[in-house]
């Protein structure tokens, strides 16, 4: 299972949000570029970068995002504001290893299917769930899709992965989240990346034993220092290693 250390940007600063509330961000006084390089030095193979300003249609962080992509020393999975073919193409041309698409998939699924074929292994579907339905527009609009139906609609689409976030239990009820994620992973042909579930190394261990979970996004726990990245990577690496049997 792969660990994706995750950085969220707002007005050029690293932040974390409570249930996506953009007006109530926790600011972390760290250098985004040095933080990304530190994650690479610790052994991370990928990172996720989410641009909250882009979700609101602002280009405040574009220069910083480009610099992180250039200097992170690992591939970047970029999320936030991918609302058109042009935006997706722009960031892939700028060097993003993958781009994460959610709202556009709900609005124009045929375009997203086309993009997934055009950019093999570079498009990730975001499935953000609240009260049983997929949310769009930065978690502010409820669609008519259940997560099961949404994933089923893209059954044969060659996504690199599907990021699943249970907003309703975000950072509160791990058991409920694991239940939702495990259920979707069982029905999906595409590997699932779990978001918002990891607080401790034990959470990684539990995720590693759910079939079809390919990765976990870890952000707030790293900034709060309730989990070290090196420890997270080690647990993810060894969770499925065979244990010798006593004779």
Please give the positions annotated as active site: 8, 128
Contact 137, 108 (CB under 8 A): no
Q: What is the DSSP letter of 134?
A: E
Residue closest to 104 by CA, chosen among 146, 152, 150: 150
Q: Are 30 and 219 in contact (CB under 8 A)?
A: no
210 DSSP assignment:
S
Residue 48 forms beta bridges with which residues?
6, 77
Q: What is the 3-state secondary structure (H, E, C) of 17-38?
A: CCCCCCCCCEEECCCHHHHHHH
Question: What is the DSSP secondary structure assignment for residue 168, as one 8-state letter?
Answer: G
Instruction: Find the length of the chain.
Output: 247
Distances (CA, A) of 117 to 27, 111, 124, 204: 38, 10, 12, 31
């Amino acid at each position: 299972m792969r660990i994706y250390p995750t950085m969220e940007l707002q007005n050029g600063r690293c932040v974390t949000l409570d249930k996506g509330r953009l007006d109530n961000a926790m600011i972390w006084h760290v250098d985004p570029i040095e933080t990304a390089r530190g994650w690479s030095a610790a052994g991370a193979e990928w990172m996720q970068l989410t641009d909250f300003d882009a979700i609101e249609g602002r280009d405040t962080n574009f220069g910083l995002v480009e610099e992180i992509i250039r200097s992170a020393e690992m591939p970047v999975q970029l999320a936030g504001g991918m609302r058109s073919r042009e935006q997706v193409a722009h960031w892939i041309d700028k060097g993003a290893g993958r781009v994460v698409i959610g709202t556009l998939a709900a609005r124009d699924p045929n375009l997203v299917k086309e993009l997934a074929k055009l950019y093999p292994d570079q498009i990730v579907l975001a499935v953000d769930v609240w009260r049983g339905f997929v949310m769009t527009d930065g978690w502010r609009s409820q669609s008519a899709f259940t997560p099961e139906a949404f994933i089923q609609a893209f059954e044969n689409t060659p996504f690199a992965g599907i990021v699943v976030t249970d907003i309703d239990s975000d950072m509160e009820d791990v058991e409920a989240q694991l239940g939702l994620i495990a259920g979707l992973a069982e029905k999906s042909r595409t590997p699932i990346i779990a978001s918002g579930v990891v607080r401790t190394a034990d959470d990684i261990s539990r995720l590693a034993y759910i079939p079809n979970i390919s990765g976990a996004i870890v952000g707030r726990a790293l900034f709060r220092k309730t989990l070290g990245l090196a420890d997270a990577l080690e647990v993810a690496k060894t969770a499925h290693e065979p244990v010798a049997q006593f004779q």
